[in-house]
Amino acid sequence: MKLKNYALGKWVEGEGDGKALLDASTGELIAHATSNGLDIDAMMRYARKEGEALRKMTFQERGLMLKKLALHLFSIKDKYYPISYKTGATKSDSWVDIEGGIGNLFANASLRRKFADQPFWVDGESHKTSKNGTFVGQHIMVPKRGVAVHINAFNFPIWGMLEKCAVNWLAGMPAIVKPATITSFLTEAMVQDIIASGILPEGALQLICGSARDILDYVDSQDVVTFTGSADTGRMLKAHPRIINEAVPFNMEADSLNCTVLGPDATPDTEEFQLFIKEVRREMTTKCGQKCTAIRRIFVPEHLLDDVQIELGKALGKTTIGDPRVEGVRMGALAGKAQVEEVKEKIAALMQTGEVVFGDPDQVEVISGDSIKGAFISPILLRENNPFKNLAAHEVEAFGPVSTLMPYKDIEEAVTLSRMGKGSLVCSIATNDPQVAQEFVIGAASHHGRILVINRDMAKESTGHGSPLPLLVHGGPGRAGGGEEMGGIRGVKHYMQRCAVQGSPTLLTEVTQHYQYGGKYKDPGKHPFKKHFEELEVGETIITAKRTVTEADIVNFANVSWDHFYAHTDVTSLEGTTFEQRVAHGYFILSAAAGLFVDAAKGPVLLNYGIDECRFTKPVYAGMTIGVRLTVKEKIKQEKKDEVDIAKGIVKFLVDVYDETDETVAIATILTMVKMKDQG
Interatomic CA distance for residues 493 and 227, integer angstroms? 17
Euclidean distance between the first and final Cα of the chain, in Å?
48
Q: Which long-range contacts (CB under 8 A, 24 or more apart) does 301-304 make?
A: 301/262, 301/264, 301/407, 301/408, 301/409, 302/407, 302/408, 302/409, 304/262, 304/267, 304/268
The residues, any chain, with a CB within 8 Å of residue 411's CB and separated by 6 or more, are 263, 264, 436, 439, 440, 443
Interatomic CA distance for residues 255 and 156, integer angstroms? 13
Strand pairing partners for 404?
297, 382
Strand pairing partners for 448?
424
Active site residue 499: no
The residues, any chain, with a CB within 8 Å of residue 322's CB and separated by 6 or more, are 25, 328, 329, 332, 366, 367, 368, 369, 376
Question: Helices 159-171 and 184-197 meet at what angle, rounded to 10?
Answer: 40
Interatomic CA distance for residues 226 and 150, integer angstroms? 5
Interatomic CA distance for residues 113 and 111, integer angstroms? 5
Q: What is the amino acid identity at position 234?
A: G
Beta-sheet strands, E only, within 416-477? 427-430, 451-454, 473-476
Interatomic CA distance for residues 84 and 154, integer angstroms? 12
Interatomic CA distance for residues 507 and 504, integer angstroms? 5
Catalytic residue among 283, 292, 540, 634: 292
Catalytic residue among 50, 163, 188, 253: 253
Which phi and psi (to 5°) does residue 462 adopt? -65, 140
Interatomic CA distance for residues 610 and 599, integer angstroms? 17
Asked if 506 and 154 count as a contact pair (C-beta separation under 8 A), the reply is no
Element (H, E) at 143: strand 136-143
- Which DSSP state fits 672? E
Which phi and psi (to 5°) does residue 152 adopt? -105, 165
User: Strand, coil or helix: what is 276?
Assistant: helix
Active site residue 537: no
User: Strand, coil or helix: what is 383?
Assistant: strand
Handedness of CA 392, 393, 395, 401 (dihedral sign): positive
Distances (CA, A) of 672 to 27, 167, 557, 680: 61, 28, 25, 21
Element (H, E) at 259: strand 259-262
Q: Which residues are catalytic?
A: 253, 292
